[in-house]
């Protein structure tokens, strides 16, 4: 096995003996943008829930970090909206892609959230996890093929702003998935498409994920190894979601070169 499992503190070794490719999630794994997304979602849903409570005479219950992790993190934008609203027993009309950010539709809320996300990104810039960049460089030096697999339609812009595009042989993001009609995480299809583009069978690829939906996608796709990256969640949550092992810092992951 490429790693001992399943404790949080296990020393993880990714070896060319078992693996040929590494499929990295973006937000929260390579770049510090999961928090930027989470804050934009909170801004959107708190305003929506507050005005809904006022109109319906109900009680305002804010959007929580746990709501983000369970219903929104890792999923495509509109899936996240539907999934969270459903968890609160709420529904909205779908609307159309032409809807503006003020529209009370799934599409309208999606536009509004993206505006908040881009505004925050503009102010803060894109910060990277140096441990992830170091691991990508070590993997590539050892002959691993690498891909980024993200639900985000902003994936390419974020990678470009961070100057990290050169670290990936393939990119399957929200825009690509939309073109190909692929369902997003927790379905495994975007990871499977990335492995296909790299010419590597799923059992010889490792999935690196910080989101429960992403870990589930890795498990459902029968990938060789699913490595949970615990950024903000509770200890053990990613292993419970299906990760083989979880680590807090990618700098601690070892890379082994060469086939026997």
Residue 37 in the binding site for ligand BG6 (CB under 6 A): yes
Residue 216 in the binding site for ligand BG6 (CB under 6 A): no
Residue 114 in the binding site for ligand BG6 (CB under 6 A): yes
Residue 42 in the binding site for ligand BG6 (CB under 6 A): no
Of 244, 185, 251, 183, the closest CA to residue 212 belongs to: 185
Terminal C-alpha separation, the chain = 15
User: Mask: binding to ligand BG6, 151-190, rule CB under 6 A, as x and -?
Assistant: xxxx-------------------x----------------
Strand partners, 255: 14
Is 27 one of the catalytic residues?
yes
Catalytic residue among 20, 25, 67, 173: 25
The pairing of beta strand 13-15 with beta strand 21-24: unpaired
**What is the C-alpha to C-alpha distance for residues 98 and 100, in angstroms, rounded to an integer?**
6
Choose, by CB under 6 A, the member of 73, 99, 176, 209 that binds ligand BG6.
73
Choose, by CB under 6 A, the member of 16, 32, 69, 77 that binds ligand BG6.
77
Query: C-beta of 186: minimal distance to ligand BG6 in Å?
Result: 12
Size of the residue set binding ligand BG6 (CB under 6 A): 17
**What is the C-alpha to C-alpha distance for residues 238 and 161, in angstroms, rounded to an integer?**
29
| Under 8 Å between Cβ of 31 and 126 | yes
Q: Give me the phi and psi of 79, to 5 degrees please.
A: -60, -40
Query: In this structure, what token pair is assigned to residue 141?
Result: 């030096």
**Which CB sits closer to ligand BG6, 2 or 228?**
228
List interacting residues with ligand BG6 (CB under 6 A): 27, 34, 37, 72-74, 76-77, 80, 114, 150-154, 174, 211
């Amino acid at each position: 096995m490429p790693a001992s499992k399943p404790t949080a503190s296990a020393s993880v070794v990714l070896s060319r003996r078992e693996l040929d490719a590494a499929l990295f999630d973006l937000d929260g794994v390579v770049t510090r943008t999961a928090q930027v997304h989470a804050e934009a979602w909170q801004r959107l849903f708190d305003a929506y829930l507050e005005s809904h409570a006022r109109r319906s005479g109900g009680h305002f219950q804010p959007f929580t970090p746990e709501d983000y992790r369970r219903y929104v993190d890792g999923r495509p934008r509109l899936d996240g909206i539907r999934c969270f609203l459903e968890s609160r027993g709420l529904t909205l009309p779908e609307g159309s892609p032409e809807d503006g950010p003020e529209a009370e539709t799934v599409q309208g809320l999606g536009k509004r959230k993206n505006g908040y996300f881009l505004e925050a990104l503009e102010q803060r810039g894109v910060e990277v996890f140096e441990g992830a960049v170091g691991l990508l460089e070590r993997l590539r030096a050892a002959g691993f093929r690498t891909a980024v697999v993200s639900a985000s339609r902003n994936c390419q812009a974020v990678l470009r702003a961070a100057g990290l595009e050169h670290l990936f042989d393939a990119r399957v993001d929200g825009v690509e998935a939309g073109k190909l009609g692929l369902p997003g995480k927790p379905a495994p299809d975007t990871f499977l498409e990335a492995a296909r583009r790299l010419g590597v069978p799923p059992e010889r690829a490792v999935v690196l994920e910080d989101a429960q939906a992403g870990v589930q996608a890795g498990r459902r796709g029968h990938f060789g190894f699913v490595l949970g990256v615990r950024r903000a969640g509770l200890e053990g949550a990613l292993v419970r979601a299906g990760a083989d092992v979880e680590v807090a810092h990618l700098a601690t992951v070892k890379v082994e070169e060469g086939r026997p």
